[in-house]
Amino acid sequence: MIKRRMRRRKGAPFHHSPEAVTRARENAGLTQAALAGQAGFSIQLMCDIEAGRRNATPEKLRAMAAVLKCAAADLQPASGVTRLDDEPPKAMEKQAS
């Protein structure tokens, strides 16, 4: 089965704030190459995420947050998308079902 990449609709909000990602990376003292390598994706993708050309998926956002030792919500815009840290815990979802 071929896994297709979902594209962001033109004008749709980003899952991340490019400025917040850059600021958190610089505060951590990491280069784009170092963050990309530790998070497990390419340097080109990291450059595109910080430049606002590509969207960071929730999984990639969590990976960056783990490397940067911050909350994923710190890398997200103030509004426009569902905050990753606001997701209910898995145990709560099972009880609600």
Q: Can you give the pTM of this predicted structure?
A: 0.69
Q: Specify the pLDDT at position 10.
A: 65
CA distances from 92 to 71, 83, 87 (A): 20, 17, 10
Q: Specify the pLDDT at position 77.
A: 80
Residue 13 has pLDDT above 90, yes or no: no
Query: Taking the domains of the chain in order of start, what are their residue ranges?
Result: 18-76
Position 73 confidence tier, pLDDT thresholds 50, 70, 90: confident
Query: Percent of the chain, pLDDT > 90?
Result: 46
CB 65 within 8 Å of CB 5? no
Q: Which of residues 44 and 78 earns the better pLDDT score? A: 44
For the stretch 24-36, pLDDT in tens is 999 999 999 999 9
CA distances from 39 to 30, 68, 69, 80 (A): 12, 9, 12, 25
Query: Percent of the chain, pLDDT > 70?
Result: 67
Query: What is the pLDDT of the chain when averaged over all its residues?
Result: 79
What would be the CATH architecture of the domain defined by 18-76? Orthogonal Bundle (1.10)
